[in-house]
Chains A and B, each alone.
Chain A
Amino acid sequence: GAGVSQSPSNKVTEKGKDVELRCDPISGHTALYWYRQSLGQGLEFLIYFQGNSAPDKSGLPSDRFSAERTGGSVSTLTIQRTQQEDSAVYLCASSLGPGSYEQYFGPGTRLTVT
């Protein structure tokens, strides 16, 4: 079946611009997660959605970062006024729900801020 998909696969943007990253989870998965993977920081949690609610936003690094999820499906991660330190691979994962701990990961979006 279809896995988690993310778009775009690559994004190059200028410092100060806003970017939107999209995640399409596996159909029927109610839980959705965003992580960031960078050379200096490894794999870091950003935000967790259960349905359209985000009970855990503790990993968002600043108020420039926000995310939403609509219809219990697609999620968008928005970074405003991008900085060079935002350059990383942004990974999305989904799971059946809070009772299922196995997360399925998408291929990621590589963001480069110039």
Chain B
Amino acid sequence: AQSVTQLGSHVSVSEGALVLLRCNYSSSVPPYLFWYVQYPNQGLQLLLKYTSAATLVKGINGFEAEFKKSETSFHLTKPSAHMSDAAEYFCAVSDRGPGTYKYIFGTGTRLKVLA
């Protein structure tokens, strides 16, 4: 069965510093992986997705993620944090079992950006 682990429920970075949010997955089939962002009292917004094409995926708002099969990882990065990046971030894997395409989510990482 597929699963996702996000290391660090809370991450703090200074404005302008590198953002690194970690995600490791477990999947019995080639995975489809996603990063979503959730701002307070809002739904989830897709940042980027990996669906077996290029291993380095670029998303919105300057975020990118690299799929590393050997490490079963899909870490999210951004070179320079902005105050508006403060939010909760979720990594998800698509559970492509028979008759389903549901997402399995990680527990989320809350990003705090310090001025």
Contact = CB atoms under 8 A, between A and B. Distances in A.
Interface of A: 4, 31, 33, 35, 42-45, 48, 55-56, 58-59, 91, 93, 95, 98, 101-108
Interface of B: 32, 34, 36, 41-46, 49, 51, 90, 92, 94, 96, 99-108
A95 B51 CA distance: 15
A43 B90 contact: yes
Contacts of A42: 105-108
B43 A105 contact: yes
A45 B103 contact: yes
Per CB-CB distance, the 7 closest pairs between chain A and chain B, nearest first, are: A55-B99, A56-B100, A43-B105, A105-B43, A105-B44, A45-B102, A107-B43
29 contacts: A4-B43, A31-B101, A33-B102, A35-B105, A42-B106, A42-B108, A43-B103, A43-B105, A43-B108, A45-B104, A48-B100, A48-B101, A48-B102, A56-B102, A58-B100, A59-B102, A91-B43, A95-B101, A101-B51, A101-B94, A101-B101, A102-B34, A102-B46, A102-B49, A103-B46, A105-B45, A107-B42, A107-B43, A108-B43
